[in-house]
């Protein structure tokens, strides 16, 4: 069995495992966490966007549609400077730390 990658979400310090090629958001949901989204993971809003603090090399390269969605909302320079990714599109291949306020245990407020 393939080893699981560890995903850490700041500022709350949540840690959970992700299967290879699982998206950050899907792995968070599997771990019982609520991840802000308005499009339900279709990659067309930016509600799930997170800043990659470490392990960017352990995520799939950003696709054109992901970059287009982020750039239209925030500008391409801001996306690159802040290392932003859509959590619903970023597929995990190793340990990664991201920053996303608003992530919380699902069902709790």
Domain ranges of the chain: 5-101
Classified by CATH at the fold level, domain 5-101 comes out as Ubiquitin-like (UB roll) (3.10.20)
The pTM of this model reads 0.93
Structure token pair of residue 81: 């400077």
Answer for the pair 28, 103: CB distance below 8 angstroms, yes or no: yes
Which among 40, 18, 35, 15 has a CA at the least distance from the CA of 27?
Answer: 18
Tell me which H or E stretch contains 49.
strand 49-54
Which among 15, 16, 69 has a CA at the least distance from the CA of 42?
Answer: 69
Structure token pair of residue 31: 């771990």
Between 6-10, 78-82, 83-87, the lowest mean confidence (pLDDT) is in 78-82
For residue range 81-104, list pLDDT tens digits in order: 999 999 999 999 999 999 999 999
Task: State the chain's mean pLDDT as an integer.
Answer: 94
Report the pLDDT averaged over residues 27-40: 97
């Amino acid at each position: 069995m393939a080893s699981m990658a560890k995903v850490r979400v700041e500022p709350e310090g949540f840690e959970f495992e992700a299967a290879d090629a699982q998206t950050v958001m899907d792995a968070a949901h599997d771990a019982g966490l609520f991840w802000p989204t308005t499009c339900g993971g279709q990659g067309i809003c930016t509600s799930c966007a997170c800043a990659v603090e470490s392990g960017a090399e352990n995520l799939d390269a950003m696709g054109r549609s992901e970059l287009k969605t982020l750039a239209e909302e925030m500008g391409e320079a801001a996306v690159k400077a802040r290392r932003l990714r859509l959590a619903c599109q970023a597929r995990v291949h190793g340990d990664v730390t991201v920053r996303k306020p608003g992530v919380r245990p699902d069902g709790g407020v």
